[in-house]
Chain A
Amino acid sequence: MTISQRLNKENTAGYIFISLFIIGFLAFTIVPIGVSFVLSFTDYDILSAPTFIGLNNFKEMFQDPTFWQSMGVTFYYALVSVPLRLIFALLVAMILVRPSKASGVYRAVYYLPSIIGSSVAVAVLWKRLFASDGAINALLALVGLPSDTAWLAQTNTALWVLIILAVWQFGSSMLIFLSGLKQIPVSYYEAATIDGASGPKKFFSITLPMLTPVIFFNLVMQLINGFMAFTQCYIITGGKPLNTTLFYSVYMYQCSFQFNRMGYGCAMAWIMLILVAAMTGILFKTSNKWVYYESK
C-alpha cells in the first residue's frame, strides 16, 4: 500500500479531518477539566504551590451562606427567565406567523434585542435605564405612575431588572418557533376545522405538540446558559443589593480571581457542573413523556 492509498482510507482520512477537533478538545476541554478536578481538592492561590486539603473546600461551601445565596439567586433567575422568554417567544411567533407585507420588518424589530442583548453596551444601557433618575422612572412619571422606585437598589426589584433584560431577548427563540410553525402541515388544521375544533383546542392538540421537540431543545440549551449567566449581573448590579442578584458564576469569579481562591472556585465549578448535568439528565429522561416525535 502506498502512502497516498493509506491516506485515502476512509478511517485515516476521517481522523485527519477531525484531528484538529481532537487536539482542541483535549487541550482546551479535557485537560482543564482534569486540572479543575484535582484543584478542587486543594487550597491554591496561583502564587504558591497548591496544598491538598481533601474535601475541605466542599465542606466549607456547604456552610458558606453566600454560596447558598448565589445558588438560590441563579436558580430563581434561570427558572423564571427562561420559561418566560420561551412563552413570550411562542406568543409573538403565533402573532407574527400571520402573513402580511410588513411581517419582515416586524420580525427584524423583535429580533434586534437578542442580537445586541448580550453586549456590554446594552448592559451599561440597562443600568442607566433603571437608575433612579433613568428613563424608566421618567416615563412612569409621564403617565402619572409612582416614579421614585430605586429599581436597582431594592432587594425585591433588582433581580427582576436582570430578568426583564433576559426576557427582552426573546427574538431568536421567536425565529425558531416561527420556522417551526411554518413546518406544521396546513392539512392538520383543516382536518381539525372540519371536525369542529376551536382555536385553543387546535393550539393544544396540534401546534403545541408539534413544537415540543423545538421547545425541548431550546429549553435545555437556554437553561444551561441561564445557570451560567455572568456579564449582565457583573456589569449591571455587581450582585448588589445585599447579594440578592449575585449570580453563581459571578461569585465563582470573585472567589477565584478577586480572593485568589482557585481551589474553592474549582470546587464550586464542579458542584455547578453536577447540578446542570443532573438537570439536563432529568429533562432528557422526562422528555419522552411530553416531547412528541413524529417518527414514533
Chain B
Amino acid sequence: MSARKNRTVIYHILVCLFGLVMIYPVLWMIMSSFKNSSEIFQNADSLLPASFKFSNYANGWSGFGGVSFSVFFKNSFVICILATVGTVISSAIIAYGFARCNFKFRNFWFGCMLISMMMPFQMIMIPQFIIFKKLNWVGTFLPLIVPYFFGLPFGIFLIMQFIRGIPKELDEAAKIDGCSTYGIFGRIILPLIVPALITTAIFQFMWRWDDFLAALLFLNKPSRYPVSLALKMFSDPSAQSDWGAMFAMATLSLVPIFIIFICLQKYLVEGISTTGMKD
C-alpha cells in the first residue's frame, strides 16, 4: 500500500515539474514585464523581480511613431470581432446546407471544401495581394474581414458534425407542421447548435488575434496595425530596446487569449477533440 502511495507522489512530482518547465517561458515573460529593463537580463535566471514596477506598462502603452497601443488594441478588436461574426453566421448556413440538404454535386462541393481547408494561405497570398491591390483594399481592414463572410472550413466541419447529432425526426416533425427548409434551419436547428457556434467563434477569434502574415501583407500604416503586427515592429532592434516595455505589451497582447483559455476551456477542448479526431 505505501509503495503504491510513493509511486503516486513521485508521479505527481514529475508531472508538476514538467508542467513548470512547460510554462516557465510564459511566467518569465510576465515577471519580466514588472522588472526594470536593466534587471531583465542581469537577473535573467531569477523569476521574481526585485520589486514589482508598473512603469513598463505605461512606457509600452505609448507605442511608437506617435501611435499608442490603445489604437492597436482597438484595431485588433474591430478586425477580430467582425471576422468572427462573419465566420459564425456564414459557416452555420453553409454547414446546414451540407448536413441536411440533398443537392446535386454535393460531394463535389464538399471535396472543394476539403481542398480549401488543406490549402495553406501562403499558396494564394501573392495573387490575393494583387487582387486586393486592384480593388484598392490594401491598407484597409477589408482583406482581413471580408473573406470570412464566406465560411471557414474548420467551422463548417465542426457545425456539420454537431447538426448530424441532431435527430432527423425533429426536422420531419417541423416539416409536417408546415415549416419550410429555411424555417427548420432558423427555428429548429439554429437554437440547438449554439455550443458549436460558440466553439467556432472562440477558435476564429483566437486565430484572427494571433494572425500576423495577413496583417503584414495587407496593412501598411501604423495607425491601422493590429496588436500582432505592432508588437513585431515594437520589438525590432532599430525601433528601441526597451525590453521591459516590450514584455509588458506582449503580456497584454495575450490577455484576451488567457481570458478565453480560463473561462471557455470546455469549448476549446471540445472543438479540438471533434475536429482533430476526424479522418
Chain A residues close to B by CB (< 8 Å)? 4, 7-8, 10-18, 20-25, 27-29, 31-36, 39, 46, 95-96, 98, 100, 102, 106, 108-113, 115-116, 118-129, 131, 133-135, 137-139, 141-142, 168, 172-173, 175-176, 179-180, 213-214, 216-218, 221, 224-225, 227-228, 230-231, 234-235, 249, 252-253, 256-257, 262, 265-266, 269, 272-273, 276, 280, 291
Contact = CB atoms under 8 A, between A and B. Distances in A.
B106 interface: yes
Contact of A10 (B102, B121, B133, B269): B102
A110 B253 CA distance: 20
B191 interface: no
A13 B130 CA distance: 35
Interface in B100-141: 101-104, 106, 109, 112-113, 115-116, 118-131, 133
A46 B45 CA distance: 49
Contacts of A221: 118
A252 B206 CA distance: 26
A110 to B, nearest CB: 6
A66 B240 CA distance: 31
B97 interface: yes
A29 B25 contact: no
B170 interface: no
Given A13-B181, A28-B150, A112 B261 contact: yes
B122 A35 contact: no
Nearest to A266: B126
What is the interface of chain A mostly: helix, strand, loop, or mixed? helix
A17 B94 contact: yes
Nearest to A293: B279
29 contacts: A11-B101, A13-B101, A17-B96, A17-B97, A18-B97, A18-B109, A21-B109, A22-B109, A24-B90, A29-B119, A32-B128, A46-B130, A108-B261, A110-B19, A115-B268, A119-B209, A124-B235, A125-B28, A125-B29, A129-B28, A133-B44, A138-B45, A216-B279, A224-B120, A234-B216, A249-B122, A257-B217, A266-B126, A272-B122
B219 to A, nearest CB: 13
B127 A35 contact: yes
Contacts of A135: 25, 28, 44-45
Contact of B277 (A21, A121, A179, A273): A179
B228 A120 contact: yes
Contacts of B212: 120, 230-231, 234-235
B265 A108 contact: yes
- Which has the most chain B C-beta neighbours within 10 Å: A17, A28, A168, A224? A17
A121 B231 contact: yes
A119 B127 contact: no
B40 to A, nearest CB: 8
A33 to B, nearest CB: 6
A287 to B, nearest CB: 9
B169 to A, nearest CB: 17
